Structure 1
Amino acid sequence: MLDNEQLKEARERDGERADERPDEADVGLERDYPAVGFSNGDPLLNRDYSEYPRSDDILSPDASGVLETLVEHRLIGSVRDISDELRADVTVVSKALELHDVDRPESVEDDAQPSESEIELPDGTVVATEQFRSPIYRDARLLEYLYVDCGYSIAEMREFLESERNHGRGAEKPRWTVDNTDIRTELEMVGLLIGDGDDGERDDIRLGGASLSESETSGTDGLTVSTSDF
């Protein structure tokens, strides 16, 4: 519920992070998604990359568990994937699989792959990007949720959005980015910040469209934005 006091506090922050905010806000910024490839996101094995076996080590008798874990991982769909994760030659991986009598991995199902068509909000809610205004940083509901409910600074909003939009993005596509100035401009447009050129016409922070008159925020009922709105 966004009331007068919350709106005042949001504007006074002027794009800085809130002093008090829910734990989920920090969790959303600390995500490091698992991905295939050595040092690419979180390790697929339950250990630090520094503790990964070296290339020829996977031929030793005690390495069968490592190979079994990787073969069963939802992101592993080929011998090449295991090779990339362990920084081992494909021929060495193939030999190790045969030596330890571990079946070769099956192709990854499409729905097991991360998708850029959705984002996971800090509270864990997964939302299809088609539900947001495009580009996504212009969606008023998302702006209010990240800036007011999560207490993110503008820089943290950029960090979160870039992380989520690039997770699952095809390697053939350029990295998705947004500038801090663009986010600030949109926060001003929806009235969550006061801009130098504020002309009184702002987007409706509930719907991501239409204009919001001052009278709609002058009462005690305020405006409601929750993850169920997305």
Structure 2
Amino acid sequence: MAMNLSNRAVAEYDGEADDDRDEKVELALTHDVKLGWREGEPLVYDGEGIPLDEAVNDAYEGYYRNEDILVPEAGSFLSRLAEHPLVTSVEDVATELGMDQGMKTSSKREKIRKALEIHGIEITDSDDDVDRDETDDVITLPNGESWDVDNLRKPVYEDSRLLTQLGPMNGFSVEEVAIYISNEIGERVDESDVQQGMVNGGILEGTRDIENESSSNQPVAHHSRVHKA
């Protein structure tokens, strides 16, 4: 009897990255574009995607902030920022520039309004509910499908279904699976934990940890969510 796709992928998986994996998988291993100072890939950014295992701080070096937003050179930067789909208000601009925290936040917003006026940029505050992908109780796969964390084995790096999807099915290496899960749940996951989880789940060969052996067969609840459009 021929093996199904999942079984074949597991049988061929050696813990290394698949050289022929889909482009969307490569994209999934980079930071999402997020509104907020150093929260993710900047809204104004000309570089390539930032790998998940690298900090995003350096990508914000070209940002104009505070008094600098009043200089003539800041005009084109603020225009690009104002045109971004995630920016619908002056408050959003303040959030992206990190000018929404600390003392005198109201005066900082006034400075932004003044800068926008100087550079001839209009932003009409919007009441639209912009989806900023802030849901924390799901893990989103590279194909955009979301799995509820509540329906996964705890800790999630021991859930063999999740590990199978990310490793054998999507072509992540063991290290990349650890990085990806860490980013999705906001907690550090070590490569060694993923390695052991894959051994326990029969994905990789090795000595199983019987106490934590992954054998969960719970159905996975899905719901749609856009990821890295």
Calculate the TM-score normalised by the size of structure 2.
0.64
The within-5 A match list for 1:109-148 is 109=129, 111-148=131-168
2:70 matched to which residue of 1?
Answer: 56
Query: Using the alignment, how far apart are the partners of 1:184 and 1:63 within structure 2?
Result: 44
1:191 to 186, 194, 202: 202
Q: Give the structure 1 partner of residue 44 of structure 2.
A: 45
Aligned partner (choices 164, 178, 183) of residue 184 of structure 2: 164
Counterpart residue number, 2:83: 69
**Contact 1:155-1:180 within 8 A present in 2 as well:** yes
Q: Distance in 2 between matches of 1:152 and 1:116?
A: 22
Instruction: Tell me how far apart the structure 2 counterparts of residues 63 and 198 of structure 1 sit (CA, whole Å).
Output: 54
CA spacing shift, 1:20–1:204, aligned 2, 3 Å = farther
The match for 2:227 is: none
Q: Is the 8 A contact 1:120 1:126 kept in 2?
A: yes
Q: 1:33, 1:98 → 2: CA distance?
A: 30
Displacement of 1:127 after TM fit? 3.0
Contact 2:79 2:121 in 1 (8 A): no
1:59–1:96: 8 Å Cα contact kept in structure 2?
no
Residues matched between the structures, number? 193
Pair 1:67–1:190, CA change in 2 (3 A)? closer
* Deviation at residue 191 of structure 1 after TM alignment: 0.9
Kindly provide the amino acid, as one letter, of the partner of residue 12 in structure 2.
E
Q: Structure 1 unaligned segments of length 5 or more: list them.
A: 167-175, 210-224
Deviation by residue 1:101-137 (Cα, 9 ceiling, x = unmatched) = 7356346748545221223211222333333223222
Normalised TM-score (structure 1): 0.63
Query: Which one-letter code corresponds to 1:192 in the other structure?
Result: I
| Alpha carbons 1:35, 1:44 under 8 Å: kept | yes
Q: Does residue 9 in structure 1 map to residue 12 in structure 2?
A: yes
Larger Rg: 1
Paired amino acid for 1:191: G
Match of 2:93 in 1: 82
> Which whole-Å CA distance do the structure 2 matches of 1:78 and 1:130 have between them?
37
Question: Is the CA contact 1:188–1:194 (under 8 Å) kept in the aligned structure 2?
Answer: yes
Structure 1 residue ranges (4+ consecutive) displaced by more than 6 angstroms after TM superposition:
58-64
Instruction: Tell me the distance in 1 between the aligned counterparts of 2:62 and 2:22.
Output: 34
Q: Secondary structure at the match of 2:70?
A: helix
Alpha-carbon displacement from aligned partner over 1:68-120 (angstroms, at most 9, x marks no partner): 425xx4365553x4235346744420323455473563467485452212232
Structure 1 residues 67 and 57: CA distance shift in structure 2, 3 A: farther
Q: Does the CA contact (< 8 Å) of 2:197 and 2:214 recur in 1? A: no
Distance 1:6 1:68 in 2: 45
Distance 1:60 1:187 in 2: 50
Paired residue secondary structure (1:2): helix
- Identity among equivalent positions (%) equals 23
Instruction: Report SS of the residue matched to 2:71.
Output: helix
1:115-160 per-position Cα deviation (integer Å, ceiling 9, x unaligned): 2122321122233333322322222111111111112111010111
